[in-house]
Structure formats: C-alpha cells, structure tokens
Amino acid sequence: MDTVTREGSLKNSQEAVARVPRVDGGSVRELSWRAYLGDLGARRALIEKHLYIVTNTAERLRPGTTEVPETWVRAGTLALVRAVESYRPWADGDFERFVVGEVLAAVSEEAAPVA
C-alpha cells in the first residue's frame, strides 16, 4: 500500500493547505450559495479552503505514526469535492459540519480494511 509520510508529501500538502486563508462563516455561506447556483470559482474556493479537513481527518485516524495511506487522502479529497457539489445551503446545516461528516465517512471506509 502506498503511504504518505508526514515528512514527505503529506507534510508538504499540510503546509500548502495551512497557507490558504480560511473564510469566515458569512463568506462560507455566500460561497456555498454561489457554488450551488453553478459558480465554479466558488466551488473551487470552497474546496481549497476546506482541504485542511482532509489532512486533519487522515492524521487523526492514525495517531502515533508517521505514515498516512495515500488512499485515505485521495478518498477524503474526493469526498470533499462531492460534498461541495451536493451541499444544499438551505437544508444541510453548517457547511463545515457537513463536509467533516462526509470526509470522515469516506476516509473511515477506506481505513476499515487496514485497521
């Protein structure tokens, strides 16, 4: 199984993600409505600004080790993209909570055979 080490690609990814400025709740709400209405720039901004959820989730599911399977990061990233595309601002509640749930479910499903 391919792994990403914290000293390698995952660390570089985390550093890059940390440099992306987070948006406040009002901006997330506006971006989520724009994304829902088809604004591809808003979708991209939501994905970029919430990539930290993927790296945090992957790390938390494997505490005390320096390796995180690359498949977990891929599954989490795909779940983030799908969450942004399927989020309904009027019905799905807080955007970040929605995304965390989707990413956690995807990464956990990918992690199940490993655990």
Q: What is the pLDDT of residues 41-97, one digit of tens each?
A: 999 999 999 999 998 888 888 877 767 788 888 999 999 999 999 999 999 999 999
Other Cβ atoms within 10 Å of 107 Cβ, number: 27
For residues 47 and 28, what is the distance between their CA atoms, to the nearest angstrom? 11
Closest CA relative to residue 99, chosen from 88, 110, 83: 83
What is the per-residue pLDDT for 112?
82
What is the per-residue pLDDT for 61?
84
What is the per-residue pLDDT for 35?
94
Task: Write down the domain spans for the chain.
Answer: 3-111
Closest CA relative to residue 10, chosen from 73, 83, 93: 73
What is the per-residue pLDDT for 38?
94
Asked if residue 21 has pLDDT above 70, the reply is no
